[in-house]
Chains A and B, each alone.
Chain A
Amino acid sequence: MQEPQTTGIQRRLWSFHGGIHVPDEKALSTGRPVARAPLPSLLTIPLRQHIGEPARPIVRVGDWVLKGQKIAEPEGWVSTPIHASSSGTVVVIEDRPIPHPSALVAPCIVIRTNGLDEWAKLPKPLDNYRELDPALVRERIRWAGIVGLGGAAFPTSIKLDPGPRLPVRTLIVNGAECEPYISCDDMLMRECAGDIIRGASILMHLLHARECLIGIEDNKPVAIEAMRLAVAESDIKESTRVCTIPTLYPSGGEKQLIRILTGDEVPTSVIPAQIGILCQNVATLAAIAQAVLAGKPLISRYVTMSGRGLRAPRNFEVLIGTPIADLIRAAGGLAGDVRKLVLGGPMMGFTLDSDQVPITKAANCVLALSEEEAPDPGPALACIRCGKCAEVCPANLLPQQMYWYARSKDLEKVQDYNLFDCIECGCCAQVCPSHIPLVQYYRYAKTESWAREREKRAADRARARHEAKEARLARLEQERKDKLKRKKEALSKKPTAGKAGDGSGGTATTEDPKKAAIEAARKRAAAKKAALAEQGIGPKNVQGLTPSQQRQIDAAENRRQAPAAATTKGTGED
């Protein structure tokens, strides 16, 4: 690609370690323009399409919902809301199969569409976002349910708020789209370059970034041209550069693209904001522009339908929740020998068990691969220690060492070799002459480590609770003993006190503390009665009675005296 007229010389580029050249196969799906996928009769919208907590439904079965209406609220900070992708009725909220390598079910809201595609009342566009508090704009992005559309699906509003201690100087726009077959970002850049640049402009303002670098692989000349034009017409043309980068898988990895465009290495277990960089996918930027400047939530995305197993591969604009089976039909249906359905690219995607799962926010590509495209690699052979995997690893890891340790389930050791810096790009497995499924070993080791970590946290909590219970039981026991001791002491003190108090009246009864106590109480009562009698106050329960009470007393008295019938009547009067 020759440098076009716009800006001067090509910026200096760096290169990352490793990487591989794979046939890009993009022409399969870029021949036809993007089509709008037909409206499905049923939309299955999973409550968790992002990293973090699943959203909480705020509609009930039978509710009537409109397109763009919020149907689930975020649960906690790391979560996003979910919106209805079209108008219709909520028919059920239950566990349904979701696109996930586990092929397990997860809670989904199922909407029967009414075909009208009727919009809900949308919030006002924030055209004047430059005068608004950045927090307000971020709130709008959060409301729109925007997540990283490059595949990670991390809530974007959180990524946009790295905090005052991490100032972002460079915004990197990821249009590399390095994985074979996938062309949805390419088509988006061709058709909606303006939206992408407007989104970038919003982020430049939010983050106070000084420069914006757009990285696009040189196998997308049309997209590069469209983006250059859009930049030239935009308000950020001074600070923005469209950089053509060589086609090399995986240059679209976040850390790899940052390395290519800036020469900076993102340290291990650190986010790029730590070195003043924020990276966003082009589709995310377009969604941000739609949310801020049009008030529209994220309810659709571009999806590539490709592979030689499809009759008419192309890109679609798809409503979130559309079943993959509908898209396959829209792409001309399956052609003969389809070996497998893959969600995502051939390098990092996973095999789908069924075509009945819906498209989610993170789903960028569905592949129907034929036998010749994805031949069975055959059984894994022994590692011959050729070291090719280490040569191609874009994260500079030692895949062979990690393989040995993951294989022997030594999770600590495999983490010592920086397992968590592995981006699962699949380069090592691709070049392995023994067809060892290396990435599978790393994924196994990662999920197993996380599970151990969860168990460890649960064990720590259980230990704390157990210790708290033991401490409480010990305290209660101690309190009981103390109380008993105090009682004993009090009782053993009483008699001596009694002896000292009425030494004159000291009789044989004082020997028994109980009897002494009773005697003392009786004496106290008699003394009190006498004292009150002296003041002319009688017992309270025979004075100032109402006539009815008096009648009741008299009646009881009569009953009591009737059998005796001999005693005087004066006692009641006393």
Chain B
Amino acid sequence: MLIAITAIAVLATLFGLLLGYSALRFHIEGDPLADQIDAVLPQTQCGQCGFPGCRPYAEAVARDEAEINRCVPGGEALVLTLADLLGKDPLPLEAGEEKPKALAVIDEKECIGCTLCIQACPVDAIVGAAKQMHTVIAGECTGCELCLAPCPVECIHMVPIAEDSRSWKWPYPAPAADTELRPSTA
């Protein structure tokens, strides 16, 4: 009896030490799960999820403090990806429906050069200087709409991105009603 207890105690100590050593030796900086989540987020930095940017939302989801259905630009596809990644059940999108992708466009005649939108842009996609006309770098704009609110003269508008023959996608073929994805019961 005593031998058994001692043996277990010794083993427990040994394994404890081994685990403790590995924890120090193989320590990983940062949160790899948050990195993985951040990697699939659309990086619009729009804050529609209630967090100040994509990274904070990814960290919150990794800590299980936020649901996976709060990213509006990511849409349903992202909810599915996150559900797959985290082993959770997919949820319907929380905040509103998906909007078509759009770009911010500054009406250059009305711009007074206040630089407020430049400060608001999370990805530095607006160029301009104080009392100079501003403009949006179309290729870098993520369509987050964060520049709309600060503009004192309301000269920024969201313009939906027109589809061209290069970005065009073949439509999903409409499956017939009686070809559901289940094995036949016959």
Contact = CB atoms under 8 A, between A and B. Distances in A.
A459 B40 CA distance: 8
B54 to A, nearest CB: 7
Nearest to B182: A382
B44 A462 contact: yes
**What band does the interface of chain A fall in when counting residues whose beta carbon is under 8 Å from B?**
35 or more
B38 interface: yes
B172 interface: yes
A381 B176 contact: yes
Contacts of A447: 168-170
A461 B122 contact: no
Contacts of B164: 104, 106
A551 interface: no
B140 A101 contact: no
Interface string A27-70: 00000000000000000000010000000000000000000000
A383 B170 CA distance: 22
A100 B164 CA distance: 11
Contact of B123 (A407, A448, A455, A462): A462
B179 A461 contact: no
A101 B171 CA distance: 11
Given A98-B165, A104-B165, A447-B170, A466 B45 contact: yes
Given A383-B179, A407-B175, A465 B123 contact: yes
Contacts of A102: 163, 165, 168
Contact of B179 (A380, A444, A468): A380
Contacts of B165: 48, 98, 100, 102, 104, 106
A329 B124 CA distance: 55
B178 interface: yes
Nearest to B166: A48
A509 to B, nearest CB: 42
B38 A463 contact: yes
Contacts of A101: 168, 170
Main SS of chain A's interface residues? helix
Interface residues of B, number: 33
A465 B142 CA distance: 11
Main SS of chain B's interface residues? loop
Given A100-B165, A382-B179, A463-B43, A469 B124 contact: yes
B41 A444 contact: no
A441 interface: yes
A412 to B, nearest CB: 9
A333 interface: no
Interface string B91-105: 000000000000000
Nearest to A442: B170
Contacts of B173: 380, 437, 440-441, 444
A468 B140 CA distance: 13
Interface in A363-389: 379-383
Contacts of A469: 122-124
Interface string A76-105: 000000000000000000000010111010
Interface string A466-482: 10110000000000000
Given A468-B124, A469-B124, 18 more contacts: A98-B165, A104-B164, A379-B176, A382-B176, A382-B178, A382-B179, A382-B180, A382-B184, A407-B181, A437-B173, A444-B173, A447-B170, A448-B169, A459-B43, A460-B43, A461-B140, A463-B43, A466-B43
11 contacts: A48-B165, A100-B168, A104-B163, A381-B176, A407-B175, A440-B170, A451-B167, A452-B77, A459-B41, A459-B42, A462-B42
Interface of B: 38, 41-45, 53-54, 77, 122-125, 140, 142, 163-173, 175-176, 178-181, 184
Which 5 A/B pairs are nearest by Cβ-Cβ distance? A462-B43, A447-B169, A102-B168, A443-B170, A459-B43
